[in-house]
Chains A and B, each alone.
Chain A
Amino acid sequence: MSHGSSGSPAISAAGLRKDYGDRSVLRGVDISVPWGQTAVLFGPNGAGKTTLLRILAGLSRPDAGDTHIAGFQMRRSGGRARTLVGFVGHQTLLYSDLTCRENLVFYAKLYGVEDSAHRIGRVLERLNLADRADRRVRTLSHGMQKRLSLARAILHEPAVLLLDEPESGLDADSVASLGHLLKDWSTSGKSALLTTHSSEIGQAWADRVFILERGRLAGESPVHGNALPTQSASRPGAAHG
């Protein structure tokens, strides 16, 4: 699988700044996620986690700084970079009056997925939604909609996953399945960056941890055994990678 420009990290951002009016949400954030790693972004509400993910997904323009996905600069090569990203936000990004399959067929067309029928069948199977494939999204529970949102994000086999609190609304089994999916994801050499408020989940899934506070990176560390970033707030505690 092509991972873009050789030697480039999966995700990188340098000097990111974002202001909403006179409120600074990001104040010069630098992060880099290597290939084959799952990075977890911790931080209190309002720290800028969602804004950072939206900028990395190409949904918001930074006021300063650059982002690269697999070496492709979002500002100049947005189309190529977007092909390599799967994004799950707070909302499902789905159409409630279409069925699960119709939603995925639509996104498969936008992403130019080849052999889409086969691929859709596989992701629905993977997310335990095969028996709901032809039901309208609005008839599904919140957890199922969240799983379908994940199916949409991995449909085109992106090299990078950006997940904003992906575990919210999922039951214990689904959270475990998501953990397995992320493990497989990083094992296959792909990368993921996710936000969560659950230090337990974050520790279990992370190869690398970032802590964001008031728009600044307050801590960063690879996770080896119990090694964690030294940071007073949001300290995740012991971890295993």
Chain B
Amino acid sequence: MRLLSATLAIAWKDVRLEIRSRDTVVSALIFGLIVVVVFNFGLNRTPGSLAPAAPGLLWVAYGFVGVLAMNRAFAREQEQGALDGLLAAPVSRDAVFLGKMLGTLAFMLVIEGVLLPVFAVMLDLPALSPTLGLIILLATIGFATVGTFFAAIAAQTRSREILLPVLFFPVIVPVIIAAVEATALVLQGGPMQAVWTRWLPLLVVFDALFLVICPWIFGYVFEG
């Protein structure tokens, strides 16, 4: 119960800070829109020619905006040493990690929710489906879990903006592969069996695994 209340308090604090400043969501959203627009006009020579590349483009955009959001998540804690305030409090490191992860997840889902319709219109694809929503949710949980962990590590260094993507993308490759493959099947209207039997289970297993590993290592790294 204490874990849950502390986790929600930390996540709600991040949401409230974001509502006040809007710096993470707005900057990530603008960046995401630019990526979608640039890809569209840079590659779209004939109508429909981007369809095979569309899933990759979507997840490249999501990956980049995710890194922007993650970088801000712990930068905010560094500004007045607030991370020390969290770590000095009698709450488990799991609660600190999960609270920060939930905040990042919320920001990413908002940004992705806004970008998806834009993506659908620009690339003329049927991108609004419940299955795609589930793929995005599971992949974003993986992004937020791994990203929050590496953002916490990177925030302790002077070159955090560079270090985070260098650490993050190699580990998140299985999620990107599963998300791109599943998204391709959904957008192309192909057989959905592989989505349900292969790619979604892969995402679930990845999420479950890293939801255990990341808080555990976070607790060790930040144990006083």
Q: Which residues of A contact B (CB under 8 A)?
A: 54-55, 57-61, 74, 78-80, 82-83, 85, 87, 89-98, 102, 106-107, 109-112, 136-137, 152
Contact = CB atoms under 8 A, between A and B. Distances in A.
Given A61-B224, A97-B17, A82 B89 contact: yes
Interface in B61-86: 76, 79-82, 84-86
Given A57-B224, A79-B90, A110-B9, 10 more contacts: A54-B224, A58-B88, A79-B91, A87-B88, A90-B81, A95-B82, A97-B17, A98-B16, A110-B89, A137-B80
B6 interface: yes
Contacts of A109: 5-6, 9
B223 A61 contact: yes
B223 to A, nearest CB: 6
Residue in B10, B16, B85, B91 whose Cβ sees the most chain A Cβ within 10 Å: B85
A112 B89 CA distance: 10
Nearest to A137: B80
B13 A106 contact: yes
B131 interface: no
Contacts, number: 82
A11 to B, nearest CB: 15
B81 A111 contact: no
B92 interface: yes
B197 interface: no
Contacts of B13: 95, 98, 106
Leading 10 A-B pairs by shortest Cβ distance: A91-B81, A93-B85, A58-B224, A110-B89, A82-B90, A109-B9, A83-B90, A97-B20, A79-B90, A92-B80
A30 B10 CA distance: 36
14 contacts: A55-B224, A57-B224, A58-B224, A59-B88, A78-B223, A79-B90, A79-B92, A80-B90, A87-B84, A93-B88, A96-B79, A98-B17, A110-B89, A110-B90
B80 to A, nearest CB: 5
Contact of B88 (A61, A85, A102): A85
Contacts of B193: none
A105 B2 CA distance: 16
Contacts of B2: 112
Given A57-B88, A58-B88, A98-B17, A106 B224 contact: no
Interface string B154-176: 00000000000000000000000
B224 A111 contact: no
A93 B81 contact: yes
B16 A93 contact: no
A90 B88 CA distance: 14
Contact of A94 (B5, B9, B85, B223): B85
Contacts of B46: none
B21 interface: yes
A110 B84 contact: no
Contacts of B6: 109-110
B87 interface: yes
Contacts of B92: 79
Contacts of B21: 97
A78 B92 CA distance: 9
A97 B88 CA distance: 21
Contacts of A89: 81, 84
A78 B220 CA distance: 13
Contacts of B76: 95
Contacts of B80: 91-96, 137
Contacts of A87: 84, 88
A47 B84 CA distance: 21
Contacts of A112: 2, 90
A94 B90 contact: no
A58 B87 contact: yes
Nearest to B76: A95
Contacts of A90: 81
Contacts of A61: 223-224
Interface string B184-224: 00000000000000000000000000000000000000011
